[in-house]
Copies of this chain bind each other. A is one copy, B any other.
Amino acid sequence: QDAKAGRAKASAQCAVCHGANGLSQHPEAPNLAGQVEMYLMKSLEDFRAGRRVNEMMTVVSKDLTDADIANLAAWYAAIRITAEPPP
């Protein structure tokens, strides 16, 4: 897969809700930064196949190719994240 192609695709179609760095810009949209690659792929495949339904994602995922899905997953998974639980 090609994270750079995924980055380009994401900036065109996903960043408006999921943010340019994968941190959500929309109260219902999840952060995708550093998300588990297999989970991202499964989510996109499920939305595209209708196994999972969401008003926005059902539409957005409809025309994604397998390559798009692999590239998008690779891109978001490549964003480095750190996590610090509150004290």
| Interface residue total, chain A, C-beta cutoff 8 A | 31
Interface flag for A58 (CB, 8 Å)? no
Q: Give the number of copies in the complex.
A: 2
Of the candidates B29, B36, B78, which one forms a contact with A31 in the assembled complex, judged by CB atoms under 8 Å apart? B36
- Let me know if B22 and A83 touch, CB within 8 A: yes
Q: Mark A34-56, 1 if CB is under 8 A from B, else 0.
A: 11101100100000000111000
Chain B residues near A81: list those with CB within 8 A. Answer: 23, 31, 33-34, 81-84
Closest B residue to A53 by beta carbon equals B51
Question: Which residues of chain A have a CB within 8 Å of any CB of chain B?
Answer: 3, 7, 20-24, 27-31, 33-36, 38-39, 42, 51-53, 78-86
